[in-house]
Copies of this chain bind each other. A is one copy, B any other.
Amino acid sequence: MEIKPIAHIYTDFKEKFGIPRQSGLVKGLVGRIVFTPEFRYPEALREMESFSHLWLIWLFSEAVDGGWRPTVRPPRLGGNKRVGVFASRAPYRPNNLGLSCVKLDSIDYDCPDGPVIIVSGIDILDGTPIFDIKPYIPVADCHPEASEGYTAYTKEYSIEVNFPKELLQKVSEDKQDALIELLSGDPRPGYDNSPDKKYGLSFDSFDIGFTVENGILRVFRVEKRE
Q: How many copies make up the complex?
A: 2
Establish whether residues A51 and B146, one from each chain, have CB atoms under 8 Å apart when the complex forms. Answer: yes
List CB contacts (< 8 Å) of A16-59 with chain B: 22-25, 39, 41, 43-48, 50-53, 55, 57, 59
Residues in chain B near residue A145, CB distance under 8 A: 52
**A interface residues, tally (CB under 8 Å):** 64
Closest to A1 in B: B3
Establish whether residues B51 and A147, one from each chain, have CB atoms under 8 Å apart when the complex forms. Answer: yes
Residues in chain B near residue A141, CB distance under 8 A: 101, 141, 143, 146
Determine if A171 is an interface residue (Cβ-Cβ < 8 Å).
Answer: no
Determine if A224 is an interface residue (Cβ-Cβ < 8 Å).
Answer: no
Closest to A51 in B: B149
Residues in chain B near residue A24, CB distance under 8 A: 139-140, 143
Give CA–CA (A62, B100) in the complex, Å.
26
Give CA–CA (A217, B81) in the complex, Å.
53
* 8 cross-chain pairs, A with B, having the tightest CB-CB distances, nearest first: A22-B140, A50-B149, A46-B84, A44-B70, A48-B87, A47-B83, A51-B149, A41-B70
